[in-house]
Amino acid sequence: AQTVTQSQPEMSVQEAETVTLSCTYDTSESDYYLFWYKQPPSRQMILVIRQEAYKQQNATENRFSVNFQKAAKSFSLKISDSQLGDAAMYFCAYRVYNFNKFYFGSGTKLNVKP
């Protein structure tokens, strides 16, 4: 069974500081994608970053980067220089290559303190 676990229901970070959100997943597949999605109060889901499992290099998108540990099945998101606009729910998601189903974690609510 495919499962995605986010063990931190809620986290807080000071503006301009760095925060790391955790995600682990369970799979027997070797080819898959991992994603972090952001859901702000508007509830619009926004893709933050994605990682292909076959790539060893960690993905980065400006202030967002991931720490992908394939053997440990861990996929954490690091947000540097946190901004007030980063406050949102963050969902970790997984998808098997060439299979049309996404699995989402339970989400982590990120609060950014001014």
Partner 1 sequence: GAVVSQHPSRVICKSGTSVKIECRSLDFQATTMFWYRQFPKQSLMLMATSNEGSKATYEQGVEKDKFLINHASLTLSTLTVTSAHPEDSSFYICSASADFATNEKLFFGSGTQLSVL
What residue ranges bind partner 1 (CB under 8 A)? 33, 35, 37, 42-47, 50, 52, 91, 95, 97-98, 100-102, 104-107, 109
φ, ψ dihedrals at 85, nearest 5°: -70, -5
Contact 33, 27 (CB under 8 A): no
We find the least distance from the C-beta atom of residue 19 to partner 1, in angstroms, to be: 20
We find the least distance from the C-beta atom of residue 55 to partner 1, in angstroms, to be: 12
Distance of CA 10 to the CA centre of its chain: 14
What gap in Å lies between CA 105 and CA 5, rounded to an integer? Answer: 5
Token pair belonging to 31: 């080819």
Select 19 or 38, whichever has its Cβ closest to partner 1: 38
We find the least distance from the C-beta atom of residue 29 to partner 1, in angstroms, to be: 14
Select 28 or 100, whichever has its Cβ closest to partner 1: 100
Select 15 or 99, whichever has its Cβ closest to partner 1: 99
Contact 7, 90 (CB under 8 A): no
